[in-house]
Structure 1
Amino acid sequence: MKRSILVLMVLVFIGANTEAFSSKARGKVFIGDTIVNYFDKSGNSVGTKLASHSYECIVPVGDEPNRFFNIVSYYTATDSMKSFAYSRDSTAGVFGWKYVGESTTYHPNGQLKSLEKFDINGSAIDSSYYYYPTGKLKMLITQVESGQNPFTGSPITKPYYLLYLDSLGNYLLKRGNGFIRFDYDNGDYIEGELKDNEREGKWTGWNMESRYEEHYLAGVLQNGKRFRANGELISYDADTRESAPIPSLKMDQFMKAISRQIDLPDHLIAQLKSSIINVRFIVNKDGRLSDFKYDSDIPSGVKREITTAIQRVGPWKPGRLQGEPVAISYTIPIRL
């Protein structure tokens, strides 16, 4: 499918959905600002459409104070839609996109895969529906209030698993009790028993090219083991299961070192709307930094200078998940 047709499709979808979504989201669509990203089957970024399994188009909608971003992704092989949603931000954070309103995903055969809803803060609300490629219901989740955000006062919710069925329509879980399995596009999975909506007993799964198992008591991880392909066994518990990436210096020293490296001419600084620039980048498995992203209104000269300054300070200690080093998105504010 030609790019011009794809752009037209995006415009049609925006026009059909924006009215029901929010009156504030209506406005001019800036096609010139459209961002296209390409991904392999595991969700890793690749450079070209030819090398990709899917691609996403990020289209700004509305005026500056009330701007949304329409996030539409497609399966490369067929150019058929993979997902459709809106976001307040044009860049995915550590935990993915912060969607606003309704989000839908589709199987490669065109069947609806999921239907989810999010509030203005990107938190899941109401009920979420998940389907098999045949169109049969797979899982039904509703969000229940579990507390209150101490900073915003808004409610904190958690998923309550109402139903889980196999592909033949047999019930495996009802009202938070029974067996459940979570499958991901890249072939990863995790499965086990829920008791009163909390993980209980042994859960098994596959990710990062190896098998692992975890043991839970009333939803609390007691211990876990990863079985690497080379025969190595890695053990962890609730405290060591996850760790964030760490810079080569203490954070305050790291930020000061970056500031000393930055030398911008006055004419570039004068073009900035704010003295604080948020920089997003990936801390890779080996500690190297890559995939730097900035807001679209930051001059290219400023981006290059800040990127170079951050990289000069040195590699990071990578983050870990279940004993394995993993690539993690990280954001830091740079004050000029």
Structure 2
Amino acid sequence: MNIFTSRLLAVTGLTFFLSLFAQPILAQNQIVTYLNKNKYIVAEKDSAVYIRILTPDGKPEAPYSLTEQYKTGEIYRKGTARFSHDRMTLIGLVTTYQPDGKKISEEYYKEGAQEGSCRYYYKNGNLKSEILVSEQVKSGNLKMGAPSRKLLSFYDSLGTQLVKNGNGYVHEVNDDGDSEEGEYKDGYKEGNWKGTFLKKKYRYTERYEQCRLLEGTSIDSTGKEVHYSKVEERPEYPGGMQNLYRFIGMNYRYPRQAYQQGASGAVILSFIVDTLGKPAEITILQDAGHGTGEEGVRVLRGSPKWVPGKLRGIPVRVSHSVPIHLNLQ
């Protein structure tokens, strides 16, 4: 796995409304919510993988203490957050843990966006890397197109430092057995890189200059080559996301029983954009009952194909979510 980027198969995009529809449990001024493995809010504890607890410190407008637990009770994440209008925003140091208590990461946030020095750890607890995250574009301090994540140091799993002050040579193998190796110069990729991806189904070579990818080539087991200019490409709905919302609005039909009962609220669907661009594995994360979720599935299943996401020029499955707002007023 690339040091700086999570895999395309991770949950991406369209999740910005999710927190608006959470139905938190208030217990002794605490805010308790249940989350599934993809961090979507679920109604029942039995469906949860994580439990999030926000505790106020008693002062007006003061941030909340954040504790997230594995369902088995061990601490998963601790930090500080603001909570307003059912929306949580991370601030300051946030530390994530394995079930055995070893650290996974230490990350700093400013109003919900990563910023500053962040540290990541191996499963054995040894430090893996330290990365400097630049201030976000909205502040005006980062030019569009400029790299926002700079590698400061990198270690192998036994603690040997491979990159110091942003300079060195990295050879990394992830949990799927895929590898990548190449040189870092002043914190960014430089020169020729090579590796494997998608569980060794493909090999790749890339050439960088001052962190800018000049060219890349993926090679399958038969020797077929695919050339690319971007490592990751997100799926694209024809005409953009506003067109998707427009399609849903034009085709969604209120179920009769939902209309009679005055059901309103939000339907939240998760789905996979498959390698052919089709919405697949559509799942109802939240609905207003009375068939409102099933109708959302019907509409989404009938939507036009997307341009599929790609990893190093190869189409891949990418997870998404979409909210549908229901209001009879």
TM-score (norm: length of structure 1): 0.63
Offset, 1:286:
3.2
Offset, 1:211:
1.7
Query: Which residue identity is paired with 2:250?
Result: R
1:27 is aligned, of 29, 52, 59, to: 29
**Is 2:191 aligned against 1:201?**
yes
Distance 1:108 1:260, change over 3 A: closer
What is residue 3 of structure 2 aligned with on the other side? none
Distance 1:144 1:316, change over 3 A: closer
Distance 1:230 1:56, change over 3 A: farther
What is residue 17 of structure 2 aligned with on the other side? none
User: Are the aligned partners of 2:286 and 2:293 in contact in 1 as well (CA < 8 Å)?
Assistant: no
- Which protein has the bigger helix share? 1
What is residue 148 of structure 1 aligned with on the other side? 137
What is residue 224 of structure 1 aligned with on the other side? 216
Q: Deviations over 1:212-234 (max 9, x none)?
A: 12110111111111121232221
Matched residue SS, 2:49: strand
Offset, 1:203:
1.3
User: Are the aligned partners of 1:179 and 1:193 in contact in 2 as well (CA < 8 Å)?
Assistant: yes
What is residue 227 of structure 2 aligned with on the other side? 235
What is residue 188 of structure 1 aligned with on the other side? 178
User: Are the aligned partners of 1:34 and 1:60 in contact in 2 as well (CA < 8 Å)?
Assistant: no
**Is 2:313 aligned against 1:318?**
no
RMSD: 4.4
Runs of 5+ consecutive residues of structure 2 not aligned to the other structure: 1-26, 39-45
Query: Which residue identity is paired with 1:27?
Result: N
Distance in 2 (CA, whole Å) between partners of 1:85 and 1:291 is 32
Offset, 1:26:
8.1
Offset, 1:321:
1.8
Larger RCO of the pair (alpha carbons < 8 Å, separation 6+)? 2
Distance in 1 (CA, whole Å) between partners of 2:190 and 2:315 is 26
What is residue 120 of structure 1 aligned with on the other side? 111
Distance 1:200 1:272, change over 3 A: same
% identical equivalent positions: 26
1:258 is aligned, of 248, 257, 260, to: 248
Tell me how many residue pairs correspond in the alignment.
276
Q: Which moved more, 1:187-196 or 1:215-224?
A: 187-196
**Is 2:86 aligned against 1:84?**
no
What is residue 160 of structure 1 aligned with on the other side? 150
Q: Deviations over 1:45-67 (max 9, x none)?
A: xxxx9xxxxx932546479x999
Q: Which moved more, 1:160-169 or 1:212-221?
A: 160-169
Matched residue SS, 2:235: coil
Distance in 2 (CA, whole Å) between partners of 1:300 and 1:160 is 50
Distance in 2 (CA, whole Å) between partners of 1:199 and 1:235 is 19
Distance in 1 (CA, whole Å) between partners of 2:148 and 2:74 is 29
Distance in 2 (CA, whole Å) between partners of 1:26 and 1:154 is 41
Distance in 1 (CA, whole Å) between partners of 2:82 and 2:315 is 30
Distance 1:100 1:163, change over 3 A: same
Distance in 2 (CA, whole Å) between partners of 1:283 and 1:61 is 33
Matched residue SS, 1:285: coil
What is residue 46 of structure 1 aligned with on the other side? none
Matched residue SS, 1:308: helix
Distance 1:68 1:206, change over 3 A: farther
